[in-house]
Amino acid sequence: MNYKIVRLNTASQQEIEHSVLIIYTGGTLGMAYNAQGALVPFNFGQILEKIPNLTQLNISITVISFPEPIDSSNINLQHWVDMAYIIYENYDTYDGFVVLHGTDTMAYSASMLSFMLQGLNKPVIFTGAQLPISEMRSDARENLMTSLEIAISKINGKPIVPEVCIFFNHMLLRGNRAKKVQSIHFDAFESENYPPLAESGIVIDYNFPAIRNVTEERRLKYVNGINNQVIVLKLFPGITEKVIESCIKIKGLKGIVLETYGSGNSPSEPWFLKLMQKAVKAGIVVFNVSQCNGGRVIQGRYQTSKDLEEMGVLSGADITTEAAVTKLMFLLANETSESEIRRKLITPMAGEMTVLGG
Ligand code: ASP
């Protein structure tokens, strides 16, 4: 891998006690205006000029930058593998990790990393900004400074938040529960079905009961298979038989995230049910996720979801589409039997879903 490594001299008078690895992938945060007035990624070595306060945190910071920082709309499978590998390779050297990432697909990347980095015991905090760091009113400074602080925070020598999270606009959210909901205002992310893990004000107020409690000693395992032979099929009134038929005919298709209405409901028209049944029988895993941001899929609550349940469509409970699609890609690549894929899909793996009675 051909990454640029920048070591920042943030040393103050005291002895440095903490260390963080920043992975700079791109996104609005790290952009500045060039001579032509266009936004382009800036050299991360200059970050101390933009945020002189970094020296006050008394953290030794290393930045590994993607060779070509990207707009996160261009994130692909290899980028996920690279991010996870960088963390895995540097795991023992740092107290925590901060991933600077565009907001557009941040929830997908945070979800995928929560599945790939199994046995995680250290904070991995994704953050970014709605306005570039070079702008006066930028949210980048606060997002980055607080993410760094969370990444090194410990109690009794143990990291407070040993999870993959998103910190944005004063909120720390579990990464695989978050969703981008705003493209203009600073409050870009929400997590409707799981409480924030912390809120930052004059202090960082941690919501301890919501944070994963890691009691046992665990070793980080890095699992890197990803199978993207999946689709997200969003239902809408008027969707035609032809559209669904062409989807399930896609060669090599292994999984469908079916975005249904409300608590997991779909049309009861015979052609629709027949096609869904055909997909399940052909070994395509169909995962039922609600179009609503809050609430959950309860298959069988209405007749319009009972049929799906009976034919073997799996309930996504309260999972987000972002977590559902990345979990499906992950399991399809790393499990060999269809029954294990199906079993693990409906079982929480990294706090991404709450299964009632489960
Ligand atoms: N398009 C940008 C990206 O996701 C938006 C952002 O950084 O917030 O990379």
Residues 195-200, mean pLDDT to the nearest whole number = 98
For residue 358, is pLDDT > 60?
no
Residue 58 pLDDT: 81
Across 164-173, 267-276, 300-309, 343-352, least confident range: 300-309
**Is 189:177 a contact under the CB 8 Å cutoff?**
no
| Band of pLDDT at residue 11, cut at 50, 70 and 90 | low
Residues 66-70, mean pLDDT to the nearest whole number = 86
Q: How far is CA 142 from CA 45, 65, 149, 171, 178, in A?
A: 19, 20, 11, 11, 19
- Which residues partner with 257 through β-bridges? 232, 287
Q: Which atom of ligand 1 is nearest to the CA of 28?
A: 7
Give me the residue spans of the domains in the chain.
Answer: 4-222, 230-345
Active site residue 105: no
Task: Give the residues surrounding ligand 1 with Cβ less than 6 Å away.
Answer: 27-28, 71-73, 102-104, 128, 130
Residue 135 pLDDT: 86
Q: How far apart are CA 7 and CA 171, in angstroms?
A: 28
Which tens digit of pLDDT belongs to each residue from 75-130? 999 999 999 999 999 999 999 999 999 999 999 999 999 999 999 999 999 999 99
First to last CA, the chain: 42
Q: How far apart are CA 283 and CA 119, in angstroms?
A: 30
Residue 1 pLDDT: 63
What single letter denotes the amino acid at residue 309?
Answer: E
Q: Which atom of ligand 1 is nearest to the CA of 70?
A: 9
Which tens digit of pLDDT belongs to each residue from 218-241? 789 999 999 999 999 999 999 999
Residue 31 pLDDT: 80
Residues 200-208, mean pLDDT to the nearest whole number = 97
| Band of pLDDT at residue 250, cut at 50, 70 and 90 | very high
Residue 33 pLDDT: 75
For residue 13, is pLDDT > 60?
no
What string of DSSP letters covers 86-112? HHHHTGGG-SEEEEE--STTHHHHHHH
Q: How far is the CA of 306 from the centre of ligand 1 (A)?
A: 40
Residue 52 pLDDT: 76
Residue nearest to atom 3 of ligand 1 (CA): 102
Which letter does DSSP use for residue 111 in this model? Answer: H
Q: Write out the two tokens for 92.
A: 């023992």
Which tens digit of pLDDT belongs to each residue from 316-332? 999 999 999 999 999 99
For domain 230-345, give the CATH number.
3.40.50.40
For residue 260, is pLDDT > 80?
yes
Residue 84 pLDDT: 97
- Superfamily holding 4-222: L-asparaginase, N-terminal domain (3.40.50.1170)
Residue 242 pLDDT: 97
The best mutation among 29, 66, 71 to test binding of ligand 1, ranked by most ligand atoms within 8 Å of the C-beta, falls on 71
Which letter does DSSP use for residue 45 in this model? Answer: G
**Is 284:258 a contact under the CB 8 Å cutoff?**
no
Q: Which atom of ligand 1 is nearest to the CA of 106?
A: 4
Q: How far apart are CA 266 and CA 269, in angstroms?
A: 9
| Band of pLDDT at residue 193, cut at 50, 70 and 90 | very high
For residue 5, is pLDDT > 80?
no
Helices (H) and strands (E) in the chain, counts: 9, 21
230-345 shares the fold of 4-222: yes
Q: How far apart are CA 289 and CA 148, in angstroms?
A: 34
Residue with tokens 């407070």: 160
